[in-house]
Amino acid sequence: MDPPLVNDSSFSPANPSSYTLSEIWPFPVNDAVRSGLRLAVNSTPSDKDVSTAAAAAAAAEESTVTDLTAGWGGRKARALNSEENESSKMVSLSSSGNEVKDSGERKRKLCGSESRNGDGSMKPEGETSSGGGSKATEQKNKPEPPKDYIHVRARRGQATDRHSLAERARREKISEKMTALQDIIPGCNKIIGKALVLDEIINYIQSLQRQVEFLSMKLEVVNSGPSTGPTIGVFPTGDLGTLPIDLHRNIYEQQEANEPRGSHPEWLHMQVDGSFNRTT
């Protein structure tokens, strides 16, 4: 709705050349909470969210909300979008932080805009207006002029300097990604706490890697010809029986022509994923 803001229309609807995370991971695309993931891969935004980390442009008008951080942000995004017309204030995009406006949120202080050029003059206003803050938030209908700095709303009792805000935004991004990972790793849903979840993830990856190693060892033994392992003794001629094992393999390979090998991949594909098509 607002031209300077990057919104749906400015994105191409699909990335045919790359696979997006959202396709591989079966997350609902419309979920505002997951938008952080989509940000990382720059996939198609839903109609509610704008997903870009690069456009630090104008303040969002009531129609679009950027949800760079999940958690409380997600809820507010949905609540906001449902009350588009009363726009209590909205947020501008930024690469390091964002706000979501919810008129119902009384704890939120209106800290105004903390500009990139270091103007902290809005701070005292925000801190003192706890009672008036809620009113101000509800009433604040005026569109914010498009500037290219961060509009951030501080939570009650939290510092509003740039550093802590940036750090908070970063932390929120990280925790959002961790929740996304939790959904992938089996059994991680019930675990609370970053450290434990990270432990699980580490263990899972290690076990996957070990499995791959083990399977590749097995593959090496098994795949070197149909005559390895327990069947080694079954050679047809006495000559072969005296040769070292690797030569046996070679000989058998040559003797077999390509026929059994040729059917191998088809088999494989049928087993690996039932929906493969046999394209012979």
Partner 1 sequence: MERQIINKKKRVFSVEPNKIPPSEVFTRKYTSHLVPALKKLNMNKNSSQVNQLTVKHEVDMALALSAQEFAWSRFLLQKLSSSNNPTTATSSSSNGIRIQERSGKEGGGDEDGEIEEKLRELQKLLPGGEEMNVEEMLSEIGTYIKCLELQTIALKSMVQDTT
The reply on whether position 271 binds partner 1 by CB under 8 A is yes
Distance from C-alpha of 183 to C-alpha of 26, rounded to nearest angstrom: 10
The reply on whether position 249 binds partner 1 by CB under 8 A is yes
Is the CB of residue 147 less than 8 Å from the CB of residue 58?
Answer: yes
CB of 16 vs partner 1, minimal distance in Å: 5
CB of 164 vs partner 1, minimal distance in Å: 15
CB of 34 vs partner 1, minimal distance in Å: 12
CB atoms under 10 Å from CB of 70, counted, come to 23
* Contacting residue, 156, 222, 241, 255, with partner 1 by CB under 8 A: 222
* Contacting residue, 3, 4, 23, 119, with partner 1 by CB under 8 A: 23
Site for partner 1 in 36-55 (CB under 8 A): 37, 40-41
- Give 131 or 233: the residue with its C-beta nearer to partner 1: 233
Q: How would you classify residue 258: left for phi > 0, otherwise alpha for psi between -120 and 50, otherwise beta? A: alpha
Distance from C-alpha of 65 to C-alpha of 84, rounded to nearest angstrom: 10
Site for partner 1 in 161-220 (CB under 8 A): 170, 173-174, 177-178, 180-181, 184-185, 194-195, 198-199, 201-202, 204-206, 208-213, 215-220
Distance from C-alpha of 83 to C-alpha of 170, rounded to nearest angstrom: 28
- Give 119 or 266: the residue with its C-beta nearer to partner 1: 266
- Give 159 or 208: the residue with its C-beta nearer to partner 1: 208
How many helices and strands (H and E) does the chain possess? Answer: 10, 0
CB of 70 vs partner 1, minimal distance in Å: 13
Instruction: Take residue 41 and report the two structure tokens written for it.
Output: 């891969």
For residue 89, give the nearest of 58, 110, 116 by alpha carbon.
Answer: 110
